[in-house]
């Protein structure tokens, strides 16, 4: 079979996505590769397709048991023999799997890194032909990555023990230069073909809001997405508990996930979500790695995450099948404080020596700053992210909150002067909130206590709404007209550029939302407008196909999306295939899956026609 035939027959797809073909070709020519592709872009196909074409076994190294299980279940559903070897197996199961593997039953075997150099596994590895080692989540070898795992270093040790060096392919979603270089050096990739694919996920709507009442805003948002699956990310375990309880009380089908729950409960809750038994997963960032549920239609960040790497990885779990999805971030100033606390008290860093630790912390603070600016920018949000990852965006994506809002460019010099003047007159001793309160003329205990009501800028801009003052202050920070200290107090300081503004030598122009736009947004929030049902697909047919899928999933004890993705079902509704060959044109329907389930879906579609 050619690679195209494998793609169609085994996976049911007609075309390769960006980067896949190049990586596969290179592997088939025996050359190492490094694939840097965002979450949801289809990294697995890049090693699974060649694995089925190479003569020997492909070992896939993966950090998480859940990830292995999911991928192996998917492969088995597609009629491909694959197995995993990790600590979730009993010893007897492990022995049996190795026995089958020796007989050549599995072209693909998922292995936990710490297994590799055990005596038993090495003994096995020396008896069989290993064509390729595919390292998934390869950034785990790097100390600079988000997720350093010392056990990943065993991969290199293992490769060194093999009589013949297999092809080594590595895949990650982390694109920073340090990580990339670390991966190549540590894994010892030999003249690898490095492919970086676009980070853009145009199907995801991106939005940021700073609501007064986060919970109400989120509930409103969820109500506008009836019947859809979603993830709500919270910064802390405590908040996960609180929010999931509230949602539950408000009648939403909710489950939760964080590191404080027992293994069994975590697993159970995760399954409830993956198997479509619960609609909403409220979780900390501990949830999601390796989750391939393709019909998650929204991701709400109840708090701002600590950096854009995490943010983009987390929103990457939205609509992995390419259908439209919505990602909104609910920002508040407190999020910055929480994240700063996490950075200053990072337990993971305890193994590092003092200098490295300082370096890591400095990097983390810088990342947090960039994340914070994301929440303030009035420019295209997608563009901001793509630029962060070193790509060029189009300045206008048409599918983010900023691109869809009406802005006007406004001269804010007078406001800027007052804010900078106030910072200076108050001796550069206060945070943003106090400065804003001062120029706005708030009468709070704090203001009186610090005697800021005696500041010459006190009440200077009492007519300008505080959200505008905040927007301007943020703009000044982003453009270095002002700066903040890196400690937990975040005190606003003057910079070299401050003077030019206060001396009247520089005009400050910025984009601000038009007044009509703000009214519109407020109205939308009040109304809790229902989202349009997106009349493209025949919903009743879709509903029936979904029911069949659920039945099959239950019977086979696999998550529904592993039977067929939403996208595949929707495509069926559009194509309305009348026979086998037409059914095979549906994306995601391969020969094997057709044999297993095709008839049942076909029958339902034909019945609907009558
Ligand atoms: P990740 O890069 O995050 O590991 P996956 O490999 O899990 O992504 O792929 C994400 C989704 O995209 C899966 O549902 C997969 O089946 C689908 N996919 C991968 N390659 C293709 C393709 N060439 N055509 C259509 N869908 C694809
Ligand atoms: Zn945009």
DSSP secondary structure letters along 139-194: GGG-TTSSS--GGGGHHHHHHHHSSSPPEEEEEES---HHHHHHHHHHHT--S-EE
Ligand nearest to the CA of 37: 1
CA distance 408 to 577: 50
pLDDT digits (tens, 9 = 90+) for 310-345: 999 899 999 988 889 999 999 998 898 889 888 888
CA 393 to ligand 2 centroid distance, Å: 9
Which residues are within 8 A (CB) of 351 and not within 5 positions of it... i.e. 6 or more apart?
A: none
Counting atoms of ligand 1 from 1, which one is nearest the CA of 7? Answer: 23
Which pLDDT belongs to residue 526? Answer: 53
CA distance 568 to 557: 20
Question: ∠ at Cα 437 (434, 441), nearest 5°?
Answer: 140
CA 396 to ligand 2 centroid distance, Å: 5
CA 525 to ligand 2 centroid distance, Å: 21
Q: Please compute, for residue 10, the number of CA atoms within 13 A of its CA located in the half-sphere on the CB side.
A: 21
Out of 14, 15, 45, give the residue to mutate to test ligand 1, the one with the largest number of ligand atoms within 8 Å of its CB.
45
3-state secondary structure labels for all residues of 332-377: CHHHHHHHHHHHHCCHHHHHCCHHHHHHHHHHHHHHHHHHHHHHHC
Residue closest by Cα to atom 24 of ligand 1? 13
CA 392 to ligand 2 centroid distance, Å: 13
Mean pLDDT of the chain: 89
Residue closest by Cα to atom 15 of ligand 1? 42
Ligand nearest to the CA of 78: 1
> In terms of Cα–Cα distance, which of 554, 557, 563 is closest to 590?
563
Q: What is the largest CA-CA distance in the chain?
A: 85
3-state secondary structure labels for all residues of 209-247: ECCCCHHHHHHHHHHCCCCCEEEEECCCHHHHHHHHHHH
Neighbours of 566 (CB within 10 A): 26
Counting atoms of ligand 1 from 1, which one is nearest the CA of 15? Answer: 23
Which pLDDT belongs to residue 387? Answer: 87
Which pLDDT belongs to residue 530? Answer: 38
Residue closest by Cα to atom 18 of ligand 1? 42
* Residue corresponding to tokens 């490095």: 194
CA distance 461 to 440: 5
Burial-class residue 418 by CB neighbours within 10 Å (0-12, 13-18, 19+): buried
Which pLDDT belongs to residue 531? Answer: 37
Residue closest by Cα to atom 27 of ligand 1? 42
Neighbours of 495 (CB within 10 A): 14
Out of 11, 24, 42, give the residue to mutate to test ligand 1, the one with the largest number of ligand atoms within 8 Å of its CB.
42
What is the C-alpha R_g of the chain?
A: 27
CA distance 90 to 316: 34
Ligand nearest to the CA of 205: 2
Ligand nearest to the CA of 559: 1
> In terms of Cα–Cα distance, which of 511, 485, 492 is closest to 421?
492
CB distance 8 to 130 below 8 Å: no
Which pLDDT belongs to residue 365? Answer: 87
pLDDT less than 50: residues of the chain: 527-537
Out of 37, 44, 72, give the residue to mutate to test ligand 1, the one with the largest number of ligand atoms within 8 Å of its CB.
44
Which pLDDT belongs to residue 535? Answer: 33
Counting atoms of ligand 1 from 1, which one is nearest the CA of 561? Answer: 14
CA 205 to ligand 2 centroid distance, Å: 8
Ligand nearest to the CA of 204: 2
Counting atoms of ligand 1 from 1, which one is nearest the CA of 322? Answer: 12
Ligand 1 binding site (Cβ under 6 Å of any ligand atom): 13, 16-17, 20, 37, 39-45, 292, 294, 320-321, 565
Residue closest by Cα to atom 5 of ligand 1? 42
* Residue corresponding to tokens 């094997």: 592
pLDDT digits (tens, 9 = 90+) for 363-391: 888 889 999 999 999 889 999 998 888 77
CA 564 to ligand 1 centroid distance, Å: 13
CA 41 to ligand 1 centroid distance, Å: 6
Residue closest by Cα to atom 19 of ligand 1? 42
Burial-class residue 224 by CB neighbours within 10 Å (0-12, 13-18, 19+): middle
Bridge-based pairing state of the strands 482-484 and 492-494: antiparallel
Which pLDDT belongs to residue 349? Answer: 56
Ligand nearest to the CA of 401: 2
CA 566 to ligand 1 centroid distance, Å: 13
> In terms of Cα–Cα distance, which of 214, 183, 210 is closest to 196?
183
* Residue 353 in tokens: 């020596």
Which pLDDT belongs to residue 525? Answer: 52
């Amino acid at each position: 079979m050619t690679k195209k035939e494998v793609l169609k027959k085994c996976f049911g797809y007609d075309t390769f996505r960006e980067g896949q073909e190049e990586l596969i070709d290179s592997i088939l020519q025996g050359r190492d590769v490094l694939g840097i592709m965002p979450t949801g872009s289809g990294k697995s196909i890049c090693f699974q397709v060649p694995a089925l074409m190479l003569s020997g076994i492909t070992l896939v190294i993966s950090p998480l048991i859940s990830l292995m299980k999911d991928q192996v279940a998917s492969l088995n559903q597609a009629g491909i023999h694959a197995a995993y070897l990790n600590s979730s197996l009993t010893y007897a199961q492990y022995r049996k799997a190795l026995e089958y593997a020796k007989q050549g039953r599995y072209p693909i075997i998922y292995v936990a890194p710490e297994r590799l150099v055990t005596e038993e596994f090495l003994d096995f590895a020396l008896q069989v032909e290993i064509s390729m080692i595919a390292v998934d989540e390869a950034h785990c070898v790097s100390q600079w990555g988000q997720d350093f795992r010392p056990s990943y270093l065993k991969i290199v040790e293992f490769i060194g023990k093999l009589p013949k060096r297999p092809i080594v392919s590595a895949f990650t979603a982390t694109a920073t230069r340090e990580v990339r270089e670390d991966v190549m050096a540590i894994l010892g990739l030999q003249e690898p073909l490095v492919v970086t694919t676009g980070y853009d996920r145009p199907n995801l709507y991106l939005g940021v809001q700073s609501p007064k009442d986060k919970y109400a805003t989120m509930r409103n948002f969820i109500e506008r997405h009836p019947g859809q699956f979603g993830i709500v990310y919270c910064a802390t375990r405590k908040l996960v508990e609180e929010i999931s309880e509230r949602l539950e009380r408000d009648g939403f089908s909710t489950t939760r996930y964080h590191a404080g729950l027992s293994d069994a409960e975590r697993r159970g809750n995760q399954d409830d979500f993956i198997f479509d038994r619960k609609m909403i997963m409220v979780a900390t960032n501990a949830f999601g790695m390796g989750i391939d549920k393709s019909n998650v239609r929204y991701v709400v960040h109840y708090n701002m995450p600590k950096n854009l790497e995490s943010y983009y990885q987390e929103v990457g779990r939205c609509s992995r099948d390419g259908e439209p999805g919505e990602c909104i971030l609910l920002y508040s100033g407190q999020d910055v404080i929480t994240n700063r606390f996490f950075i200053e008290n990072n337990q993971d860093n305890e193994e590092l020596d003092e200098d490295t630790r300082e370096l890591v912390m400095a990097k983390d603070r810088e990342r947090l700053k960039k994340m914070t600016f994301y929440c303030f920018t009035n420019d295209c949000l997608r563009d901001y992210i793509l630029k962060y990852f070193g790509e060029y965006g189009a300045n206008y994506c048409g599918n983010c909150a900023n691109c869809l809002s009406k802005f006007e460019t406004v001269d804010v010099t007078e406001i800027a002067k007052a804010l900078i003047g106030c910072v200076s007159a108050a001796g550069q001793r206060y945070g943003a909130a106090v400065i804003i309160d001062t120029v706005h003329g708030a009468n709070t205990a704090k203001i009186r206590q610090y005697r800021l009501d005696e500041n010459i800028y006190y009440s200077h801009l009492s007519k300008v709404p505080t959200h505008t003052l905040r927007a301007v202050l943020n703009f000044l920070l982003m453009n270095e007209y002002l700066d903040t200290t890196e400690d937990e107090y975040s005190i606003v300081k003057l910079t070299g550029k401050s003077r030019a503004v206060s001396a009247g030598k520089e005009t400050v122009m910025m984009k601000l939302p038009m007044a009509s736009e703000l009214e519109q947004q407020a109205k939308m929030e009040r109304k809790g407008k229902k989202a349009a049902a997106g009349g493209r697909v025949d919903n009743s047919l879709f509903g029936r196909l979904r029911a069949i899928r659920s039945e099959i999933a239950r019977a086979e004890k696999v998550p529904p999306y592993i039977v067929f993705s939403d996208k595949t079902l929707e495509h069926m509704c559009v194509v309305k295939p009348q026979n086998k060959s037409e059914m095979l044109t549906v994306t995601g329907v391969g020969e094997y899956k057709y044999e297993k389930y095709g008839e049942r879906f076909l029958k339902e579609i034909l019945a609907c026609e009558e």
